[in-house]
Each structure stands twice: as structure tokens, then as C-alpha cells.
Amino acid sequence: MDKIDFKGSVVLNPVPVVLITSRNKAGKDNVFTVGWTGTICTKPPMLSISIRPERLSYEYICETMEFIVNMPSSNMVKAVDYCGVKPGRKFDKIKDMNFTMKDGENVNVAYIDDCPVSIECKVKDIIKLGSHHMFIAEVVGSHINSNLIDDNGKIHFEKGNLISYCHGEYFKLPEKSIGSFGFSVRKNLILKKLILPLLLGKMI
């Protein structure tokens, strides 16, 4: 396939799209949409979000060093878009979108109960990169809808009706996977465990 040399932009897509809630020292809440986020460490559990310094949430999070990542479902896509384009200094987006808010357990920030998953975070470092500054945060707690967790404790994110962002558009994530971690070698491992002992037994 022919390739086009495309410069000057980060073309890593798709990415998760999340709603970030924060609260300033005066107790005022705000929410805005973030596409630049990701898991960066397992132990301790850590993630990052990148924010433009001119955003109101940047100011709030710098004040308290806490925030909550709320993962919206596809039926919330209009609210996700609204919270991404409307400025928090002029609009009360939480009220406008009629979000149901609940106080966090480990941070002094409210999370959006309408979202199937909410992740409480404490900021450990802020790296000034350019147009965006990266907030590196430790996960200190999560709130997950009970219908997403099976009897074995596995979280079925595919049942959360989650959405992603890809080059200016929102997409609903599929419910069926095209593979699971390790599936490319799993069959060979099973064959080795079952067949090799039989072959060795015949050779002895």
C-alpha cells in the first residue's frame, strides 16, 4: 500500500474520550472533556491527562491536585461534546447537562454518577509540554456500575456502552472483541500441554 508522508500532527487514533470533574478550593465544581489520556503505570496504578493551561479545569486541578476521570456511555455523546466546546468560565456545564453528581470517597471532588465508570485521582506531577501540560496522577479509587462486573470479579467494559474519539468524531465501542490477550499463542500452549506428554509417553 502506498504511504503519504503526513507531518506536523499526532495521528494516534482512536483515543478514549472522558469527562474530567474537578473542584477548586472554594468548592466550585467544573467538568470538561478530555481526549488525551492514558494508563501509564500498574503498580502504583497511574494515569495521565493533558490539559491546555487556559482551561478552567487546569486552574482547579492545580489548586487541589485532585480530579476524577468519568468514562461516559454512548448515550451521553451530546453531553461529552458540549462539555468539550463550552467554556467553564461562562457556562455551568454540570447544571446544563443535568448530571447526577456524587462526592468521591478518596478525593474532594464529585463524580458523574451517570457514567458507568469513574476513577478518582491525585496528581503527582505536572509536566509542561507546550500547548498542553501533562498531569501524572495516581489512581486512589474507582466507582464502577455493578452490572459491568461478573461473579469472578472481571470488569466487562464492553457492556458499558463506552465511546472513543477518532480524528474529530465519536465512535461507539463494539461489544464483541476480535481477540483477547495471549490468544495468538494460547492454542499452541494447549497443544503442548496435551499432546507433548502423550508423545513422550509413547516414546518411553
Grid cell listed for 185? 499463542
Give the pLDDT confidence score for residue 55 in this predicted structure.
97
Whole-angstrom Cα distance, residue 171 to residue 155? 21
The amino acid occupying position 8 is G
Give the pLDDT confidence score for residue 14 in this predicted structure.
96
Whole-angstrom Cα distance, residue 158 to residue 148? 8
pLDDT in tens, the chain (204 residues): 999 998 878 999 999 999 999 999 999 999 999 999 999 999 999 999 999 999 999 999 999 999 999 999 999 999 999 999 999 999 999 999 999 999 999 999 999 999 999 999 999 999 999 999 999 999 999 999 999 999 999 999 999 999 999 999 999 999 899 888 888 877 666 556 666 566 556 555
How wide is the angle at C-alpha 57 spanned by C-alphas 51 and 60, nearest 5°?
A: 125
Buried b (16+ CB within 10 A) or exposed e, 96-109: ebebeeeebeebeb
Q: What residue segments make up the domains of the chain, in order of their start?
A: 15-172
The amino acid occupying position 22 is S
Highest CATH level, class, for 15-172: mainly beta
Summary count for the chain: helices (H), strands (E): 4, 12
Whole-angstrom Cα distance, residue 161 to residue 71? 10
Grid cell listed for 81? 461534546
Give the pLDDT confidence score for residue 80 in this predicted structure.
98
Give the pLDDT confidence score for residue 190 in this predicted structure.
57
The CA distances from residue 114 to 44, 94, 168, 181, in Å, are 27, 12, 24, 30
The CA distances from residue 191 to 64, 82, 86, in Å, are 54, 52, 56
Q: Which of 175, 178, 67 is nearest to 126 (CA)?
A: 67
pTM: 0.90
